[in-house]
């Protein structure tokens, strides 16, 4: 292969613009929950429905921190999440920007929101703090991840991290597991939402996966 030595290198912005149509920046999401007593049955059902039947689900044990940064005036703060694997200390950390869910169309089967996932080095927390972000809260999450084609299903339990190291005195936040079904896709691929809904049907009545409107939850007295 003879390299063309005088061909200029493409800049990062050029490649980003060229790839605009294939960068997965939309997240389609369905959420539900299942009591501790019923989670084994759900895991069993998922194990059969999803890919990699023989190797089983992938366990994960993560620590997530949520930051926010306020711009000029009283605009909405920008929310950023940082996640790291506690069981694999050498893996990159994950920085995630999640936008507001698209309101409107009630007939849409899933929540759709802008989401950018960035792998980073371990200095990301210091970086964000110096940037001007403030940590709103943090938690530990432990559970299993299943895959079916492009869909990712997680069954996880959320723990409050204790004082000092996150690994000591973890107390569970509730007696249930959070079940999430999500797909990260480039914008304009709404057909995937239908596939998600039909998959969610297969998990009834063990768990009801549906669009959860967070704003409504916040206003519960």
Q: Which residues bind other proteins (CB under 8 A)?
A: 3-9, 11-13, 15-16, 23, 25, 69-73, 75, 78, 95, 97, 116-121, 123-124, 126-127, 130-132
Report in angstroms how near the CB of residue 89 gets to other proteins at its nearest.
17
30 vs 95 by CB, closer to other proteins:
95
Report in angstroms how near the CB of residue 123 gets to other proteins at its nearest.
5
5 vs 220 by CB, closer to other proteins:
5
Report in angstroms how near the CB of residue 130 gets to other proteins at its nearest.
5
Report in angstroms how near the CB of residue 117 gets to other proteins at its nearest.
7
Report in angstroms how near the CB of residue 95 gets to other proteins at its nearest.
7
120 vs 176 by CB, closer to other proteins:
120
Helix (H, G, I), strand (E, B) or coil at 29: strand
125 vs 170 by CB, closer to other proteins:
125
93 vs 177 by CB, closer to other proteins:
93
């Amino acid at each position: 292969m003879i390299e063309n030595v005088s061909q200029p290198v493409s800049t990062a912005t050029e490649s980003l613009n060229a790839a605009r149509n294939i960068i997965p920046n939309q997240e389609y999401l369905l959420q539900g929950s299942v009591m501790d007593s019923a989670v084994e049955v759900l895991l069993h059902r998922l194990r059969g429905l999803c890919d990699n039947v023989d190797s089983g689900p992938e366990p994960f044990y993560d620590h997530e921190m949520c930051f926010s940064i306020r711009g000029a005036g009283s605009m909405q703060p920008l929310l950023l999440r940082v996640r790291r694997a506690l069981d694999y200390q050498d893996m990159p950390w994950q920085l995630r920007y999640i936008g507001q869910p698209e309101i409107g169309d009630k007939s849409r089967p899933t929540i759709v929101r802008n989401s950018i996932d960035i792998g980073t080095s371990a200095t990301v927390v210091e970086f964000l703090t110096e940037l001007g972000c403030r940590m709103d809260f943090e938690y530990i999450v432990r559970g299993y991840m299943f895959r079916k084609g492009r869909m990712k299903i997680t069954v996880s339990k959320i723990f409050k991290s204790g004082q000092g190291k996150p690994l000591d005195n973890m107390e569970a936040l509730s007696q249930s597991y959070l079940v999430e079904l999500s797909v990260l896709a480039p914008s304009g691929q709404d057909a995937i939402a239908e596939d998600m809904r039909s998959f969610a049907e297969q998990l009834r009545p063990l768990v009801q996966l549906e669009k959860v409107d967070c704003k409504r939850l916040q206003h519960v007295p």
